[in-house]
């Protein structure tokens, strides 16, 4: 079939259609040239095409920020929420519609600042969804303010003399939450690893948290420059139950065999800053999944309308 994107309604009408990656793109992404969000979107489209996910059977939920434009560009159901609130919206959606594949896309300011409380509890709930933290170390959409992950000393409009505090480490934070079941890190400039990590996260049953390191070409173009120019500053975490993208062993000489079931080593590796580490830090599918233990009984469309009318009647004058 043609790779030209077609409408959601057309795809619903032809359930037998074999979809290609571009069929999942609703409109052209409006990000700055060179933004890492493009790489994340391309990897997501490849995943959706490989899994042949039906657009009407999935939903993308976001908060506010450059990364949170995602639902506008993916040919599926979407919810563009408010700042920091993507995770409670997505959790409610998963409880009400457990048959949907739910993806959550957030930025570092969106997730780790105003959304930090939701982030911790959503990790603990361990609902079955794929969560992408697109971390460019800055508030980009609002034009260059220090975020919780901004490197210490980096100047911005809100910290013109440089960020005073050490940056928050999203991996350490997530690994410290009870019931965290999947924690991984990848980067926009390693597309093969990014795609393989997304695949592993999607296949995991539970809350799959992926920190995607990316460059903001406008405000933080140099944050990861050293790792982009010299692969020796990056270490791959490899394991038969981890991420093993073909061909990367020739590029990245530094590799570490890490069992993703070892939570203690995962926390130790997340804390170290001698190298940038990409791979699955922790994975355990045995943890309880919230949308299974907190299942919501199905409600007919007619009953939903009746309940809404009953609620509206409470406010009738």
pLDDT one-digit tens code per residue, 238-270? 999 999 888 898 999 999 999 999 999 999 999
Closest listed residue to residue 65, CA positions, set 35, 91, 94: 35
CA atoms of 69 and 30, how far apart (whole Å) = 8
SS3 50: helix
Residue 7 has what pLDDT? 58
Residue 316 has what pLDDT? 85
Task: State both tokens at 315.
Answer: 């406010």
Task: State both tokens at 291.
Answer: 């949308």
Per residue in 274-312, pLDDT (tens digit) is 999 999 999 999 999 999 998 777 788 899 899 999 999
Q: Cα angle at 129 between 74 and 88, to 5 degrees?
A: 90
Residue identified by tokens 């045995």 is 286
Residue 1 has what pLDDT? 31
Confidence of residue 2 (pLDDT cuts 50, 70, 90): very low
Q: How many other C-beta atoms are found inside a 10 Å radius of the C-beta of residue 125?
A: 23
Residue 12 reports pLDDT greater than 60? no
Confidence of residue 5 (pLDDT cuts 50, 70, 90): very low
Residue 13 has what pLDDT? 58
Per residue in 125-161, pLDDT (tens digit) is 999 999 999 999 999 999 999 999 999 999 999 999 9
SS3 310: helix
Per residue in 89-103, pLDDT (tens digit) is 999 999 989 999 999
**Which residues are paired to 306 by β-bridges?**
none
Residue 75 reports pLDDT greater than 80? yes
CA atoms of 285 and 122, how far apart (whole Å) = 16
Strands 276-283 and 182-187: antiparallel
The torsion angles phi and psi of 215, rounded to 5 degrees, stand at -100, 135
Does CATH place domain 25-313 in 3.40.50.2000?
no
Quote the distance between the C-alpha of residue 137 and its chain's center.
15
CA atoms of 107 and 147, how far apart (whole Å) = 10
Domain boundaries, the chain: 25-313
Residue 14 has what pLDDT? 63
pTM over 0.85: yes
CA atoms of 72 and 57, how far apart (whole Å) = 16
Residue 3 reports pLDDT greater than 80? no
CA atoms of 33 and 50, how far apart (whole Å) = 27
| Higher local confidence (pLDDT), 192 or 5 | 192
Per residue in 15-58, pLDDT (tens digit) is 667 999 999 999 999 999 999 999 999 999 999 999 999 999 99
Per residue in 193-246, pLDDT (tens digit) is 999 999 999 999 999 999 999 999 999 999 999 999 999 999 999 999 999 888
Residue identified by tokens 């052209």 is 28
CA atoms of 300 and 302, how far apart (whole Å) = 5
CB of 227 closer than 8 Å to CB of 249: no
């Amino acid at each position: 079939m043609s790779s030209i994107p077609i409408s959601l309604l057309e795809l619903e009408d032809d359930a037998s259609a074999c979809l290609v990656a571009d069929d999942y793109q609703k409109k052209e992404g409006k990000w700055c040239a060179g933004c890492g969000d493009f790489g994340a979107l391309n990897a997501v489209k490849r995943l959706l095409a490989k899994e042949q996910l039906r657009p009407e059977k999935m939903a993308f939920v976001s908060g506010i920020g450059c990364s949170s434009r995602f639902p506008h560009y993916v040919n599926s159901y979407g919810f563009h929420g408010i700042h920091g609130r993507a995770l409670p919206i997505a959790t409610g959606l998963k409880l009400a519609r457990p048959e949907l594949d739910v993806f959550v896309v957030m930025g570092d300011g969106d997730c780790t600042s105003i959304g930090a409380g939701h982030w911790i509890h959503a990790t603990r709930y361990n609902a079955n969804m794929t969560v992408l933290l697109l971390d460019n170390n800055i508030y980009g959409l609002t034009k260059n303010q220090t975020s919780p992950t901004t490197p210490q000393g980096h100047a911005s409009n809100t910290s013109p003399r440089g960020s005073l505090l050490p940056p928050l480490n999203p991996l350490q934070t997530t690994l410290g939450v009870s019931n965290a079941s999947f924690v991984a890190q990848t980067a926009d400039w390693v597309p093969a690893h990014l795609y393989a990590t997304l695949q592993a996260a999607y296949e995991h049953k539970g809350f799959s948290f992926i920190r995607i390191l990316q460059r903001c070409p406008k405000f933080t173009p140099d944050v990861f420059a050293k790792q982009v120019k010299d692969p020796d500053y990056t270490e791959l975490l490899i394991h038969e139950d981890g991420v093993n993208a073909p061909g990367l062993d020739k590029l990245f000489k530094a590799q570490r065999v890490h069992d993703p079931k070892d939570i203690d080593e995962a926390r130790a590796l997340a804390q170290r800053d001698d190298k940038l580490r990409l791979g699955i830090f922790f994975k355990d599918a045995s943890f309880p999944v919230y949308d299974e233990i907190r299942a919501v009984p199905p409600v007919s469309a007619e009953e939903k309308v009746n309940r809404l009318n009953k609620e509206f009647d409470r406010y009738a004058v």
